[in-house]
Amino acid sequence: MIDTARTKELASKYAIVLVLAGLVIGIGLREHTFLSLDNLSNILRISSVRVIIALGVGGILITRGTDLSAGRTVGLCACIAASLMQRPDYASKMFPDLPYLPLVVPIVCALAAGLLVGLVNGLVVAYLKVPPFITTLGTMVMVYGACSLYVDRPPRGAMPIGGLREDFASLGTGSWAGVPKLIVIAGAVLFMYWVILNWTRFGKNTYAIGGNPEAAKVAGVDVKRNLILVYVLGGAMYGLAGVLLAARSGGATNNYGLMYELDAIAAAVIGGVSTAGGVGTVAGMLTGVLIFQVLDNGLVILGVSPYWQQIVKGTIIVAAVAIDIRKYVTRK
């Protein structure tokens, strides 16, 4: 006998995984090239950068916040890292007199820039009580302006930053023991974030704040401090994503990161991060990113119009949020 109740429980628990599997199988049956190792590897490489951004945004969503500055922060960090890693013989170097720098320098500088943006967001949200939407909308505009000023300087103007050193570019295009470096780095970050959310006091406090900020405060949680840390951790994720994006694409411009925050928010929500706060998992965020990347890749392979692709993605986002709100209403 089939336990109907148990089957429904498992289907509900793993619904997002079943959706991903269904997409992969469905598109693969329609177009066999989709399941080629090269194509699947390409999906994972692109997803590697996106999932790191989604982790940063997802952690903030768990606290009932949001971060619209994520994409522009990724772009700023990509430009900073790329500008410090141009080849000595490159004709259009951004800093002609810059000495040869160790690989760790651009990574640290990009992370520092991301941390700074996250710190500003966290301080404004925690101490000035400005709603996260407005706070990060403001920093999004400011970061884009700062990035444009950084890139657009005379006499070179707003030229794309190219000519990156091979040791830096290999972070995005190379491999370790046959496994792309991007995938290895993303895997390490996913594990680290899982440990933070599930095995540290900070992680437990993050869920507590999202579940009920006032109750968390009464229970002894330093809400302001933890909110700042959540945004700072998000900034660190954007900094790392910016480094990897520049390395993978071989350069950067001030328009990098455009709309990445919306993709990250959508992926996190699709992956089960509740817009009401207090709910979300690393596995869900990863699955949400993979679903969107499989959709993007699969619809292109199937020859679907880019306009229809946007309609499909938008419909999925609205449906996911509607289902999430329905769950929240039911719990209430």
In this predicted model, what pLDDT tens digit does every residue of 282-319 receive, in sequence order?
999 999 999 999 989 998 898 888 888 888 878 877 87
The answer to whether residue 166 sits within a structural domain is yes
In this predicted model, which residue has the larger pLDDT, 5 or 199?
Answer: 199
Q: Is a pLDDT exceeding 80 seen at residue 154? A: no
- Grade residue 232 by pLDDT with cuts at 50, 70 and 90: very high
Residue whose token pair is 């693969």: 28
Task: Give the structural domain span for 215.
Answer: 28-331
Number of structural domains in the chain? 1
Q: Is a pLDDT exceeding 70 seen at residue 151? A: yes
CA–CA gap between residue 41 and residue 82 (Å, rounded): 24
The CATH number that applies at residue 114 is 1.10.3470
CA–CA gap between residue 303 and residue 100 (Å, rounded): 45
Q: What is the pLDDT of residue 11?
A: 57
- Please report the beta strands in 116-204, taking only residues with DSSP state E, as ranges in sequence order: 175-176, 179-180
In this predicted model, what pLDDT tens digit does every residue of 210-230 receive, in sequence order?
999 999 999 999 999 999 999
The answer to whether residue 13 sits within a structural domain is no
The answer to whether residue 317 sits within a structural domain is yes
The answer to whether residue 19 sits within a structural domain is no
In a 10 Å sphere around its CB, with 0-12 CB exposed, 13-18 middle and 19+ buried, how is residue 301 labelled? Answer: middle
**What integer best gives the mean pLDDT of the chain?**
90
- Average pLDDT (316-328) is 71
Phi-psi region of 259 (alpha: psi -120 to 50; beta: other; left: phi over 0): left
Contacts (Cβ under 8 Å, ≥6 apart) of 33: 39, 301
Q: What is the pLDDT of residue 275?
A: 79
How would you label 92-131 residue by residue, b for 16+ Cβ within 10 Å and e otherwise? ebbeeeeeeeeeeebbebbbebbbbbbebbbbbbbeeebe
Q: What is the pLDDT of residue 43?
A: 93
The answer to whether residue 123 sits within a structural domain is yes
Write the single-letter amino acid at 234: G
Half-sphere exposure of 317 (CA within 13 A, CB side): 15
- H and E: helices and strands count for the chain: 14, 2
- Grade residue 9 by pLDDT with cuts at 50, 70 and 90: low
The answer to whether residue 321 sits within a structural domain is yes
Q: What is the pLDDT of residue 12?
A: 60
Of the listed ranges 12-21, 206-215, 277-286, the least confidently predicted one is 12-21
- Grade residue 208 by pLDDT with cuts at 50, 70 and 90: very high
Q: What is the pLDDT of residue 198?
A: 96
Contacts (Cβ under 8 Å, ≥6 apart) of 272: 16, 279, 280, 281, 284, 288
The answer to whether residue 4 sits within a structural domain is no
Write the single-letter amino acid at 66: T
CA–CA gap between residue 139 and residue 68 (Å, rounded): 8
The answer to whether residue 288 sits within a structural domain is yes
